Amino acid sequence: MERAGTAAFGAGRAGAMATKKRGVSRSSARSRSALLRQRDTPGAAHALARCCREDIAVIPPGGVLRTLSPLPVAALRLEEAALGAARKFGFETVADLLPVARGPLARRLGMATIDRLDQALGGKAEPITPREDVVIPEVERRLLEPIGTAEAIAQVMQRRRYLDKRAG
């Protein structure tokens, strides 16, 4: 959820996320959110939202490295092969990866690991692209005669709901 330009950073965005969370919880789904500043990264938000224990996590200004360090390596969105190699070499948290030179780390876990680590820490740009549905849902109802009044439309819609209830 993008909330750029909110006047009261902490209260405004956190309040918006709390409102979103209440809406999701009404639908019996579970949600987690991460609150970052605009110059923080989507990779950090993803890692925190997936692996943090709080429902709404806030990264303090300048605290991306400190916040991500205790998270598991899986928070970096690595492929299964890289996660297996990380376990094999004893890398459990993001902090375990940080002191290792990039060359040996890339040989052990793959170049994608370096890219994901850089994306999460802000060293490499990660554009956000919207996802689009491949198929746009469409519903059509053909009638023998045209209808134009609100009452006729309501009657057709009510009949459809009745049939859906009986079918489902």
The pTM assigned to this predicted structure is 0.59
pLDDT, tens digit, 9 for 90 and up, residues 26-69: 555 555 555 555 556 888 888 887 777 776 677 777 788 888 89
User: Mean pLDDT across the stretch 106-119?
Assistant: 94
Confirm if 46 and 40 have CB atoms less than 8 A apart: no
Confidence at residue 101, expressed as pLDDT on a 0 to 100 scale = 94
- Which pLDDT tens digit goes with each residue over 115-164? 999 998 888 888 878 877 778 777 777 888 888 888 988 888 887 777 67
Buried b / exposed e along 110-119 (16+ C-beta atoms within 10 A): beebbbbbbb
Residue ranges per domain, the chain? 9-121
